[in-house]
Amino acid sequence: MPFSNSRLRGARLAAIALSASFAFSAAPALAEGVVNIYSYRQPDLIKPVLDAFTAETGIDTEVLFLDKGLEERIAAEGQNSPADVILTVDISRLTNTKEKGVTQPVDDPAINAAIPAEYRDPDGHWFGVTRRGRVIYASKDRVSDTDISYADLADPKWAGKICIRSGQHDYNLALFSALIAHWGEEKAEQWMEGFKANLARKPEGNDRGQAKSIMAGECDLALGNTYYVGLMMTNDKEPEQKEWANSIHVIFPSIDDAGTHVNISGMAMAKHAPNRENALKLMEFLASEEAQEIYAAEVFEYPVKEGVEASDIVKSFGTLNADKLPLSEIAGHRKAASEMVDRVGLDDGPAS
């Protein structure tokens, strides 16, 4: 059976409150016509594409949103877990679902044909759905340079000019992992020391907050994801965010000549998916051209499927030349990147 409305509401409240006291019924969801989704992605971001899936297939979707502990919850539920599909952000969270043993391999010709090899697990445990570039937000008023590499961010010319969120955040750790994969740990650590010296303040806030700091004159450059710029540009509920977006332009840095680091949102099939056929249909749909176009238009992310174009807003940022290094290889350096952040003291700020 699918989640009941009352239990789903309770589960959402429990997840948002980070309470461990609520649990689903032990009875698995076996009825036809439903797919149960455990998601790290905000419900409003995935609703348009899930609505399109239901309209096309007649299969309902039930979503449980959690902001942490998703893998642990599925593991604790064991064979009785209702979870069919896992939706998440960041390569580290995707690889973590595999390492925690809560996924199963999927070998589907349609999915494999749609998603390039660098954006899927070699063993079929996870697949990228959308891409986002980890780019430089630069002040329109104070930065005339349009060609800045990641390596350049350690140049003393930018001393006191750079803002970032915590170095231990998944998005930054993924970038640092990519630098280690390309440069090796010694060179990457030397770079991080120079990067830290160029910080304007102690790392804080989120990606949108870095754009706000640039508008306020606290810094001239920041690291951020591309899709946040689109979300800020179109945010009618909080119009001040449009001002933040209008104060910056996007620069696509490169790792030497390899291209811009990209991260992904992704999907995986839960290990004990009770509605496996419906889960596979959803995964095939998410890899399809139709779903990729919806994601591109609604969430301002880059499609993973070749031939599907980004939205006009995202195109206005410039051309993304994405690093082709497999994300599975980049993810292998996450632990080293996290330890490096602590060793260098990046989150302590420039004066430490």
Which residues fall in the annotated binding site for Fe cation?
227-228
Encoding tokens for residue 1?
């059976």
Encoding tokens for residue 328?
């599975």
Angle (CA) 218 314 303, round 5°: 125
Binding site: what residues are annotated? 227-228
Do 103 and 312 form a contact (C-beta atoms < 8 A)? no
As beta bridge partners, residue 222 has 137, 163
In terms of Cα–Cα distance, which of 265, 255, 216, 224 is closest to 87? 265
Q: What length is written for the chain?
A: 352
